[in-house]
Amino acid sequence: AQSVTQPDIHITVSEGASLELRCNYSYGATPYLFWYVQSPGQGLQLLLKYFSGDTLVQGIKGFEAEFKRSQSSFNLRKPSVHWSDAAEYFCAVVLMDSSYKLIFGSGTRLLVRP
């Protein structure tokens, strides 16, 4: 069955430090992958997506992610974290049937130390 695993429930980084959030997926074919961010009390905002082509994708707010088929991973990175990046981050894979529904990981909450 298709699934997405985000192994880190919480991550704390200092402002200005680099960030990597891990995402592993289980999917039988080439996946379409997304990262979303959720600020408290808000909906989910799309950060970036991958569905073909270059395995390093750029997103909004200075985020990037790298698709590694051999490791079944799609990790999110940012070179220098800002306090406003504190939020919850979700990785998701699209089920490529007639529904196009998303299978989400359980999320990683990012805390930023001043």
* Amino acid in position 66: E
- Which of the ranges 14-22, 36-44, 56-64, 73-81 carries the binding residues for other proteins, by CB under 8 A? 36-44
The residue among 45 and 58 lying less far from other proteins, judged by its C-beta, is: 45
**In whole angstroms, how close is the CB of 108 to other proteins at the nearest point?**
10
For position 100 contacting other proteins by CB under 8 A, the verdict is yes
Between vectors from CA 21 to CA 17 and to CA 26, what angle results, nearest 5°? 165
Distance CA 16, CA 85 (A): 11
- Which of the ranges 22-30, 64-72, 75-83, 105-113 carries the binding residues for other proteins, by CB under 8 A? 105-113
When binding is defined by CB under 8 A, the residue of 43, 54, 70, 114 that contacts other proteins is: 43
* DSSP string over 35-74: EEEE-TT--EEEEEEESSS-SEEE-GGG-EEEEEGGGTEE
Decide: helix, strand or coil at residue 17: coil
- Which of the ranges 21-29, 35-43, 54-62, 65-73 carries the binding residues for other proteins, by CB under 8 A? 35-43
Query: How many helices and strands (H and E) does the chain possess?
Result: 0, 12
Sites of contact with other proteins (CB under 8 A): 32, 34, 36, 41-46, 49, 51-52, 90, 98-102, 104-107
